[in-house]
Amino acid sequence: MDSIVVQGGGPLNGQIPIAGAKNACLTLMPATLLSEEPLTLTNAPRLSDIKTMTELLQSLGAEITSMQEGQVQAMSCHGTINTRAEYDIVRKMRASNLVLGPLLAREGVAEVSLPGGCAIGARPMDIHTDGLTLMGADIELRDGYLHAKAAGGRLKGAVIDFPFASVGATENIMMAATLAKGTTVINNAAREPEIVDLADCLRKMGAQIEGDGTSSITIQGVDSLNGATHPVVTDRIELGTYMLAPAICGGEVELLGGKLSLVGAFCEKLDAAGIDVTETDKGLMVKRRGDEIKAVDVTTEPFPGFPTDLQAQMMALLCTANGTSVLEEKIFENRFMHAPELIRMGAEIDVSGGTATVTGVKKLKGAPVMATDLRASVSLILAGLAAEGETKVSRVYHLDRGYEHVVRKLEGVGAKIERVKD
């Protein structure tokens, strides 16, 4: 197993290119199941999660060719396919559940292993299955698998009111509805940029979708979809993560491909903390306004609110702020596991339920720490960049799921960082 070793210090200066979005690519890839024609994704990120999705789709019968070092995924899925998503693959990555809607839409049947819980929360699929049931699917949980069957072999349009703006449920239902008989309306839908990216791609494939990016999405079902080529949208979470590097260490860094519209609520908090973000012709430039970071309160919310996937990274910054910040995690019930690791580095954090109170300290101290999940792992690297001495982050396989070339990208702006074999 590998670890990443960081020598604290700063400032950081230069440019960091931002890749295509993991969470967009993971929902775009299953869309290949909706057509007999090829779907090609460009600007795809090179991540272990993308490899897992490739493995899953290939197990269902898709042909996938990865080109240009993985930045292009050419996929096609024609003829009869396998409709069973095996536990052995699904347990590696929850987003595997995004094949449920497309399989049901294409074949009228699907058997998808239930992913089970994960480090950050229980993460049930009731909103997905309740929505598909309204579309005429009969779904039964048996032997750990969701066994789903569309009445009459084809899903039908329905009006679906989500109790919560779930990202995954919006994606699954939207894909399922593209081939359903009639019109589907999703109310209280998720509004994340990854949803809009999926809708753009599906429209290129011939789907009729309106309202993506708002809380109400309307999908007019069609009989078949064609192929397309689609560039994956920029990864706003990778973007936000690297915006925090000059914020926590000082210096000036340009994030190539960054867009303000992807990180609006996040930038408001950076501004309040004393960080300047300006648009350039290549992306976003980030630097501190003064020497100190100001304390700010943060509450995670569905888009366009503050993203839960940047909460851990923001906590690392606020550990060095002047004053006390209150972070409220409203999306997942167990997403503060980075706090005890940051406390090992000298941070002052008090966690009570979904609230963490962070009292800034003058300087964090380097220490051996352990990654517990994807975003927690990168928050420890950010903290290590600002700490005195050496920080060794172990279990970085978590990191590989969502960040490509971390060492190369941070070294490129002057960080002292290396990957070591344990």
Catalytic residues, which ones?
Answer: 118
Comparing CB distances to ligand EPZ, the nearer of 12 and 29 is: 29
Comparing CB distances to ligand EPZ, the nearer of 221 and 402 is: 402
167 binds ligand EPZ (CB under 6 A): yes
DSSP state of 293: P
Alpha carbon separation from 164 to 120, 211, 215, 302, 371 (Å, rounded) = 18, 17, 11, 9, 29
Site string for ligand EPZ, 330-369 (x = CB under 6 A): -xx-------------------------------------
Comparing CB distances to ligand EPZ, the nearer of 190 and 253 is: 190
**Location of structure tokens 């969470």:** 23
Do 43 and 256 touch, CB atoms closer than 8 A?
no
For the bound state, the minimum distance from the C-beta of residue 320 to ligand EPZ, rounded and expressed in Å, comes to: 23
126 binds ligand EPZ (CB under 6 A): yes
Cis amide leading into 304 (omega within 30): yes
Do 176 and 148 touch, CB atoms closer than 8 A?
no
Do 409 and 12 touch, CB atoms closer than 8 A?
no
Do 319 and 383 touch, CB atoms closer than 8 A?
yes
Options 166-174, 255-263, 340-348, 360-368: segment touching ligand EPZ (CB under 6 A): 166-174
Residues comprising the chain, all counted:
422
**Location of structure tokens 């819980």:** 117
For the bound state, the minimum distance from the C-beta of residue 122 to ligand EPZ, rounded and expressed in Å, comes to: 6
381 binds ligand EPZ (CB under 6 A): no
Site string for ligand EPZ, 77-96 (x = CB under 6 A): ------------------x-
Task: Considering only residues 300 through 319, tell me which ones interact with ligand EPZ, judged by CB under 6 A.
Answer: 308-309
Two structure tokens written together for 58? 């290939």
115 binds ligand EPZ (CB under 6 A): no
Comparing CB distances to ligand EPZ, the nearer of 166 and 394 is: 166
Task: Considering only residues 197 through 236, tell me which ones interact with ligand EPZ, judged by CB under 6 A.
Answer: none
Do 249 and 11 touch, CB atoms closer than 8 A?
yes
Two structure tokens written together for 413? 């702006």
Options 143-151, 163-171, 386-394, 412-420: segment touching ligand EPZ (CB under 6 A): 163-171
121 binds ligand EPZ (CB under 6 A): yes
375 binds ligand EPZ (CB under 6 A): yes
**Location of structure tokens 């699917």:** 137
Q: Which of 124, 144, 152, 153 binds ligand EPZ (CB under 6 A)?
A: 124
Residue of 359, 293, 294 lying closest to 326 (CA atoms): 359
Cα 126 to the chain's mean position, in Å?
20
Comparing CB distances to ligand EPZ, the nearer of 43 and 166 is: 166
Do 401 and 92 touch, CB atoms closer than 8 A?
no
Q: Which of 5, 12, 23, 238 binds ligand EPZ (CB under 6 A)?
A: 23
Comparing CB distances to ligand EPZ, the nearer of 118 and 295 is: 118
> By 3-state DSSP, what share of the chain in percent is helix, strand and coil, each rounded to 5?
35, 30, 35
**Location of structure tokens 């990208």:** 409
C-alpha 125/C-alpha 108 separation (Å) is 19
Q: Which of 125, 155, 199, 245 binds ligand EPZ (CB under 6 A)?
A: 125
- Residues sharing a CB contact under 8 Å with residue 327, sequence separation 6 or more, in sequence order: 297, 298, 299, 300, 311, 314, 315, 318, 355, 356, 357, 358
For ligand EPZ, which residue has the nearest CB? 168
For the bound state, the minimum distance from the C-beta of residue 160 to ligand EPZ, rounded and expressed in Å, comes to: 12
Q: Which of 402, 407, 410, 415 binds ligand EPZ (CB under 6 A)?
A: 402
Comparing CB distances to ligand EPZ, the nearer of 164 and 397 is: 164
Phi/psi-derived region of residue 280, left when phi > 0, alpha when psi is between -120 and 50, beta in every other case = beta
54 binds ligand EPZ (CB under 6 A): no
Two structure tokens written together for 397? 């396989």
53 binds ligand EPZ (CB under 6 A): no
For the bound state, the minimum distance from the C-beta of residue 130 to ligand EPZ, rounded and expressed in Å, comes to: 8
Options 84-92, 115-123, 228-236, 321-329: segment touching ligand EPZ (CB under 6 A): 115-123
Residues near ligand EPZ (CB under 6 A): 23, 26, 95, 121-128, 164, 166-169, 190, 308-309, 331-332, 374-375, 402
